[in-house]
Amino acid sequence: MVVRVGIVGYGTIGKRVADAVMRMDDMELVGVVKQNPDYESEVAVRKGIRLYTYEDKVDKFERVGIKVSGTVDELLRSVNIIVDATPDGVGAENKARFYEPMGLRAIFQGGEEAEVAEVSFNALANYDMAIGKRFVRVVSCNTTALTRLISAFLLHGYKIRKVRAYIVRRGADPREFKKGPINDVVFNPATVPSHHGPDVMTVIPSVSIVTMAVAVPTTIMHLHMVNIEFDGLVSRGEVIKVLEETPRILLFNSSSRKFESLAQVIEWARDIGRPRGDVFENAVIEDSVTVFQNELFLMQGVHQESIVVPENVDAIRAVMRLMDKWSSIRKTDEVLGLITEGKNYALA
């Protein structure tokens, strides 16, 4: 079966998911919804992507010579599933306005409240819970990274007593020009826990996690400083092995390979030819991995613009019952060019 996919919201996340869907042989990108005939609309048309817009906006596109293939209603009537990648909160409005009344299936993003969907999703953690569901939410970039890291250990049979994570958030995405901070550290939020910990628990309810977050003037990546306390002793060697063999987690060595900053992780992605310099994997800094008895400490970089892209592809497969968990994760990783060498695609 080839699943017909529509994407509503063609921004940072939507355009990357669109590219990923176009590369999958079990999916067809029917079209994307745009509201404005801007440069992104023009690039989409150049790539052969069909654009759809709201009925009252068709004229706006035609006036500037950007071809529209139809209205939002027409797109929604011709797809099996929608990926909604609109700004925070708009997905819930779209659900009530379109997807529910039209009987459509939809994947939402992490900016929506958990209640928008039946399942908050991460492929490593709970793929099976999304199978056959109608509404699934792919959790945010920070939550995806934390959930993957915790899942790596749970999938290897470790018992976790508690997790504490300190998140240094990027101030804005590279394309955003209206947002700060410019010269500041913003308590983002000042409350403890930040929303990330409770959000991880929407995917892995059994984990005890507290997070704190600030935002800084950078656009490239988030940085997490994570402390995991296990039920029992662990060794650094075991931890490295878990991280090496878990899909979607990569180790970057600062002493031997000279990865001394997150900018160099992005440069690596550009050098190996990743589209837009995307880093789909958790970028764990190998030298930071330190174990004291039953406690693990590490730092990881999180490429906010792309980390959720593989999960969106897997969420489509789960909802559409296309494939089992590990077949989907492996296929997504191979097609999108994630590092698959040494990875175990048959973890428990």
Ligand X SMILES: NC(=O)c1ccc[n+]([C@@H]2O[C@H](COP(=O)([O-])OP(=O)(O)OC[C@H]3O[C@@H](n4cnc5c(N)ncnc54)[C@H](OP(=O)(O)O)[C@@H]3O)[C@@H](O)[C@H]2O)c1
Interface residues with ligand X (CB under 6 A) are 8-14, 33-36, 38, 85-88, 90, 109-112, 140-141, 173, 304-305, 308
* CA pair distance 81, 135, nearest whole angstrom: 10
SS3 content of the chain, % helix, strand, coil (to 5): 40, 25, 40
**Shortest Cβ 289–ligand X spacing (Å):** 25
**Shortest Cβ 125–ligand X spacing (Å):** 16
For ligand X, the closer of residues 111 and 189 by Cβ is 111
**Shortest Cβ 188–ligand X spacing (Å):** 13
Q: Other CB atoms closer than 10 Å to residue 128's CB: what's the count?
A: 11
Q: Would you say 147 and 127 are in contact if contact means Cβ atoms under 8 Å apart?
A: no
* Order of strands, sheet of 27-33, starting from the edge strand that comes earlier in the sequence: 70-71, 51-53, 27-33, 3-8, 81-84, 105-108, 135-138, 119-121
3-state secondary structure of 212: strand
**Shortest Cβ 15–ligand X spacing (Å):** 8
Q: Pick the catalytic residue: 141, 283, 291, 307?
A: 141
104 catalytic residue (yes or no): no
- Pairing relationship of beta strands 135-138 and 105-108 according to DSSP bridges: parallel
Residue nearest to ligand X (CB): 11
Q: Would you say 80 and 54 are in contact if contact means Cβ atoms under 8 Å apart?
A: no
For ligand X, the closer of residues 171 and 247 by Cβ is 171
Residue labelled with tokens 């209206």: 178
For ligand X, the closer of residues 53 and 80 by Cβ is 53
**Shortest Cβ 346–ligand X spacing (Å):** 28
* CA pair distance 270, 306, nearest whole angstrom: 13
**Shortest Cβ 185–ligand X spacing (Å):** 19
Q: Would you say 296 and 234 are in contact if contact means Cβ atoms under 8 Å apart?
A: yes
**141, containing H or E segment:** helix 141-155
Burial 332-348 (b: 16+ CB within 10 A, else e): bbeebebeeeebebebe
Terminal-to-terminal C-alpha distance of the chain: 27
Catalytic (active-site) positions: 141
